[in-house]
């Protein structure tokens, strides 16, 4: 059962389950654009950290696909509806800001999820606040700068927020950086681009700087939370091997592969929401960590499949041309 303060209970009781409420909340002098998806109050809320340059509306299909879970998401300072901070920040800074937001909303226990860039912040939060974070979900993410990287061409296309401000550019590069369903359904690109707004160059730079030199590798072994790692099989931006690394080093973790690309939370919101809610609700689930030998074998196998998949994708693209 959720352990909420009175204000959280009251807010939950007056809101209609499934409704999404957006409002601005001041936390320690920083104004945040916050969206709250109201659930039935039967479990702790899910705090979701979004990807780089992403306003909360990009996660709206996922929020709407949840059936009973209360979810909290906010625009990172300098992105979307949250004003830019005076100074750059680190993942630990955002973790403190998020913890203060959770307290302001009246909750004393939460589940945490992070997508792509936000997965790093989610890892930091779980490490920094182990008593506040009950369970952890990591989607299409990696352990920081020590990750197995994407190809240089993909990284170059991600270096600026241009895809958030230039819809034509977004249409040209979406399949290359996101993979999966974006390769075959151009309509997905248009719908995704339509939900983008508010990405600012300095705010984007702050997000890049936040992860500069950051890694979770030294302490992943110490995370106490049951953890679900979700990865797309055709993810050009975060190769699937990174999911095997996370699931192998976090003691109580399991890895689930999804037949899609980097943005499966957007292209397959119902499937993703169902996987996450089942994981969060299953109190009897006890994931046994694998042996180091089996982890190494899994990593080697996934490296082979990753590079094989890249060759197949390149061949398909050349065939289309």
Q: What strand order describes the sheet that includes 110-115?
A: 20-27, 30-37, 71-74, 46-49, 110-115, 133-139, 227-232, 253-258
Q: Between residues 277 and 316, which one has the greater pLDDT?
A: 277
d(CA 161, CA 173): 12
Instruction: Assign 305 a pLDDT band (cuts: 50, 70, 90).
Output: low
Contact 24, 34 (CB under 8 A): yes
pLDDT at 209 over 90: yes
Q: What integer pLDDT is reported at residue 309 of this predicted model?
A: 56
Distance CA 204, CA 227 (A): 28
Q: Tokens representing 149?
A: 């990287």
255 with 243: CB under 8 angstroms? yes
Q: Are 92 and 124 in contact (CB under 8 A)?
A: yes
278 and 111 Cβ atoms separated by less than 8 Å = no
- C-alpha 54/C-alpha 43 separation (Å) is 27
Partner residues linked to 26 by β-bridges: 31
Q: What is the pTM of this model?
A: 0.84
Average pLDDT score, the chain: 86
3-class secondary structure, 188: helix
- Paired tokens of 271: 């499937």
**Structure confidence at residue 2 (pLDDT):** 38
State how far the Cα of 213 lies from the Cα of 230, in Å rounded to an integer.
24
Helix (H) or strand (E) holding 231: strand 227-232
Give the active site residue among 13, 82, 92, 116: 116
- Residue 298 a catalytic site member: no
For residue 4, pLDDT over 50 is answered with no
CA–CA gap between residue 93 and residue 99 (Å, rounded): 10
pLDDT tens by residue, 15-73: 677 899 999 999 999 999 999 999 999 999 999 999 999 999 999 999 999 999 999 99
């Amino acid at each position: 059962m959720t352990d909420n303060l009175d204000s959280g209970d009251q807010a939950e009781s007056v809101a209609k389950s499934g409704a999404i409420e957006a409002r601005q909340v001041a936390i320690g002098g920083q104004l945040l654009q916050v969206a709250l998806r109201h659930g039935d109050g039967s479990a702790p809320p899910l705090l979701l950290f979004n990807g780089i340059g992403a306003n909360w509306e990009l996660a709206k299909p996922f929020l709407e696909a949840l059936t009973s879970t209360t979810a909290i998401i906010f625009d990172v300072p300098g992105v979307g509806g949250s004003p830019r901070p005076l100074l750059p920040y680190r993942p630990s800074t955002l973790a403190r800001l998020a913890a203060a937001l959770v307290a302001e909303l009246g909750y004393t226990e939460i589940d945490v999820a992070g997508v792509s860039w936000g997965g790093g912040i989610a890892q930091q939060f779980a490490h920094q606040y182990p008593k506040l974070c009950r369970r952890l979900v990591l989607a299409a993410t990696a352990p920081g700068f020590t990750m197995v990287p994407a190809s240089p061409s993909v990284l170059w296309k991600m270096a600026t927020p241009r895809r958030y401000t230039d819809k034509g550019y977004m249409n040209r590069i979406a399949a290359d950086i996101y993979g999966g369903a974006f390769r075959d359904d151009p309509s997905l690109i248009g719908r995704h681009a339509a939900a983008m707004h508010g990405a600012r160059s300095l705010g984007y730079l702050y997000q890049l700087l936040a992860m500069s030199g950051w890694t979770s590798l030294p302490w992943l072994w110490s995370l106490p939370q049951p953890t679900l790692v979700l990865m797309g099989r055709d993810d050009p931006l975060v190769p699937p091997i990174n999911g095997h690394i996370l699931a192998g080093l976090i003691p109580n973790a399991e890895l689930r592969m999804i037949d899609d690309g980097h943005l499966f939370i957007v292209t397959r919101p119902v499937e993703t929401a169902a996987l996450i809610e089942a994981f969060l609700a299953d109190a009897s689930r006890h994931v046994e960590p694998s042996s180091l030998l089996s982890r190494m074998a899994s990593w080697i196998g996934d490296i082979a499949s990753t590079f094989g998949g890249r060759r197949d994708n390149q061949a398909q693209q050349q065939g289309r041309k």
